[in-house]
Amino acid sequence: MTALHEFKAELYKILGHPTRLRILELLRAGEKTVSELQQALDVEASSVSQQLAIMRSHQLVDTRKQGTNVFYRVRDPLIFELMDIAKKIFEHQVASMNSLLDENSGPF
């Protein structure tokens, strides 16, 4: 396995957690604190912190400290392009399934 394959596998693994994806979607609008993310996600702050720590250790997010607040932001906005492509793939699959359902919903 090449370094690129290993990188991709690890990236997809990190992106494979729904809470992490939701955090990234919220960070798309700009940097946020753990408290802001926790309120928007309606999950425990410890869970948000845990997911952010994982993403930070894999260099998906960076931090900026201001006073007592720590702000999180996406390190490389290209991640949003990957997420947008995943959304398009999902939409194509839903459209294909709907088309199959329409074909099979004829008279019995």
Q: Is the pLDDT of residue 74 over 90?
A: yes
Q: Which of 70, 72, 87, 65 is CA-nearest to residue 15?
A: 87
For residue 97, the model assigns a pLDDT of 87
Q: Among the CATH numbers 3.30.9.10, 1.10.3720.10, 1.10.10.10, 1.10.3210.10, which is that of 3-76? A: 1.10.10.10
What whole-number percentage of the chain has pLDDT above 90? 86
The pTM assigned to this predicted structure is: 0.85
For residue 22, the model assigns a pLDDT of 97
Higher pLDDT, 106 or 62: 62
User: Residues 47-61: pLDDT tens digits?
Assistant: 999 999 999 999 999
Domain ranges of the chain: 3-76
Cα dist from 15 to 37, 45, 98, 99, 108, whole Å: 17, 19, 27, 29, 43
